[in-house]
């Protein structure tokens, strides 16, 4: 249950058609502290189209207190995780950045100005531990790693600016863990811990509820531990 927000929460979930996004939305809809959950699927909001994002904000029933960008692309649409530098493809790299970094930044650009000026608000984007530069010991997955690292930097930069006018706000990136979804399916054999979308959602909402402005701009995993840049 969300207990740290001062008023009944209007939560917005971008990517509500995915495994984690749907689980987050379901959890929030069952929370008595949440007054409204607005779901946006890929069909309703195109991360690569600023006009689509603007149209989504225009249709909101009220200002959002919590926005979660639960999106990400690791494979599909001509993209697969690179095993070596020779596998790098320019078009795939551009598309990965468009979905994993630029898209969430455009969502922040559109939604953050609408959020209340007083009281706790949270903008969170799903990132990944593999976006940590200091934690990269295996290499590979060039485009996904680089795009998530870019997202983490964008979140940090956006948080600094947003705090100047929204001092009670939190802008953060979240690592959801290795979750049993289509995104992770081909790589689950090597996972040390595999969790369900509902388990991930429950933990992520707990992390969000515990965050405060001094922690804004940082990346936290599903267990609430900060991930080094």
Q: At residue 226, does pLDDT exceed 80?
A: yes
Asked if residue 188 has pLDDT above 60, the reply is no
* CATH 3.30.930.10 describes domain 9-221: no
Residues with Cβ within 8 Å of 118's Cβ and at least 6 positions away in sequence, in order, are 168
SS3 label, residue 197: helix
Q: What is the pTM of this model?
A: 0.94
What distance in Å separates the CA atoms of residue 128 and residue 78, rounded to the nearest whole number?
21
Cβ-count burial 23-49 (b if 16+ within 10 Å, e if not): bbbbbbeebeebebbbbbeeeebebee
**pLDDT exceeds cutoff 70 at 184:** no
Instruction: Determine the average pLDDT of the residues in 223-227.
Output: 97
Residue pLDDT, tens place only, 88-129:
999 999 999 999 999 999 999 999 999 999 999 999 999 999
11-23 pLDDT per residue, tens:
999 999 999 999 9
Q: What pLDDT shows up at residue 181?
A: 77
Give every strand in the sheet of 34-40, ordered side by side: 34-40, 9-14, 66-69, 121-126, 169-175, 219-221
Query: Could you tell me the pLDDT band of residue 186, with boundaries at 50, 70 and 90?
Result: low
Over residues 194-223, mean pLDDT: 97
At residue 179, φ and ψ (nearest 5 deg) are -105, 140
C-alpha closest to that of 187 among 176, 198, 175, 178 = 178
Under the banding of pLDDT at 50, 70 and 90, the label for residue 187 is low
- Give the Cα separation of 67 and 48 in Å (integer): 18
d(CA 178, CA 74): 13
């Amino acid at each position: 249950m969300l207990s740290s927000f001062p008023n009944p929460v209007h939560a917005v979930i971008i990517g509500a058609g995915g495994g984690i996004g749907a689980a987050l939305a379901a959890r929030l809809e069952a929370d008595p502290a949440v007054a409204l959950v607005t779901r946006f699927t890929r069909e309703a909001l195109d991360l690569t189209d600023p006009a689509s994002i603007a149209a989504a904000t225009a249709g909101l029933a009220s200002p959002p207190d919590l926005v979660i960008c639960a999106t990400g692309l690791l494979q599909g649409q001509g993209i697969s995780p690179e095993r070596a530098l020779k596998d790098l493809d320019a078009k795939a790299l551009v598309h990965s950045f468009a979905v994993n970094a630029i898209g969430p930044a455009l969502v922040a650009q559109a939604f953050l100005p609408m959020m209340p000026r007083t009281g706790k608000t949270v903008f969170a984007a799903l990132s990944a531990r593999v976006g940590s530069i200091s934690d990269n010991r295996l290499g590979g997955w060039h485009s996904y790693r680089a795009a998530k690292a870019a997202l983490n930097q964008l979140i940090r930069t956006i948080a600094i600016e947003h705090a100047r006018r929204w001092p009670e706000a939190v802008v953060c990136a979240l690592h959801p863990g290795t979750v049993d979804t289509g995104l992770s399916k081909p790589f689950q054999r090597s996972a040390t811990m595999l969790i369900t979308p509902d388990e991930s959602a429950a933990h992520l909402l707990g992390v969000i509820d515990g965050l405060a402005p001094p922690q804004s701009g940082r990346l936290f995993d599903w267990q609430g531990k900060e991930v080094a840049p």
